[in-house]
Chain A
Amino acid sequence: MNGSVSVFSRAMERFRFVEPVPPEVQRHIRRVKRREFLKILRRAGAYSTLFAIVSSVFFTLKKLGVSITIAKAAMLIGVSALLLFGGAASSVYYAVRALTAPDSEIRVQSEESGQSVASSQALVSNATAPTAAADPPELVERRFGVQGFTAANVDPATAARVSGMVASELAKLKGGERVIRGASKDRKAGMLVLGSVEELGGAYDVTARVVSVKDGRILFYSSETAGSAAELDGAAVRLSRKIAAGIR
Chain B
Amino acid sequence: MFLKNREFAEAYNDLYPVVFGAVYSKVGNPEDAQDICQELFVKLYEKLETIENRRKWLYGALRLEVMAYYRKKKPDGVDIDEVFADVGLTFVNGFRDARIVISGAIEHDENFEDERERALFDLVAVQNYSYEEAGMQLGMSKRQVRYRYGLIVERILAYLQKQGIKSLEDLL
Residues of chain A having any CB pair with chain B under 8 Å: 1-2, 4-5, 7-12, 14-21, 23, 25-30, 32-33, 36-37, 39-41, 43-44, 46, 48, 51, 55, 58-59, 61-71
Cβ-defined contact, B156 with A18, below 8 A: no
Residue from the list A1, A44, A67 in contact with B154, Cβ < 8 A: A1
Cβ-defined contact, A17 with B10, below 8 A: no
* Docked pose: A9 CA to B129 CA in angstroms: 12
Tell me what chain A mostly uses at the interface: helix, strand, loop, or mixed: helix
Residue from the list A18, A23, A30, A36 in contact with B38, Cβ < 8 A: A36
* Docked pose: A96 CA to B85 CA in angstroms: 73
Closest to B14 in A: A62
Cβ-defined contact, A36 with B21, below 8 A: no
Cβ-defined contact, B9 with A37, below 8 A: yes
Q: If A7-B169, A36-B16, A46-B45 touch, does A17 touch B6 (CB 8 Å cutoff)?
A: no
* Docked pose: A19 CA to B59 CA in angstroms: 15
How many B residues face the partner with a CB closer than 8 A?
59
Cβ-defined contact, A65 with B30, below 8 A: no
Tell me what chain B mostly uses at the interface: helix, strand, loop, or mixed: helix
In chain B between 18 and 40, which residues have their CB closer than 8 angstroms to a CB of chain A? 20-22, 24-25, 30, 34, 37-38
Which of chain A's residues have a CB closer than 8 A to the CB of B37? 36
Does chain A have a CB within 8 A of B92?
yes
Which of chain B's residues have a CB closer than 8 A to the CB of A15? 92, 95, 98-99, 102
Does chain A have a CB within 8 A of B163?
no
Which of chain B's residues have a CB closer than 8 A to the CB of A30? 17, 133, 136-137
Does chain A have a CB within 8 A of B66?
no
Q: If A19-B21, A40-B41, A44-B45 touch, does A8 touch B172 (CB 8 Å cutoff)?
A: no
Closest to B167 in A: A7
B61 to chain A, nearest CB (A): 14
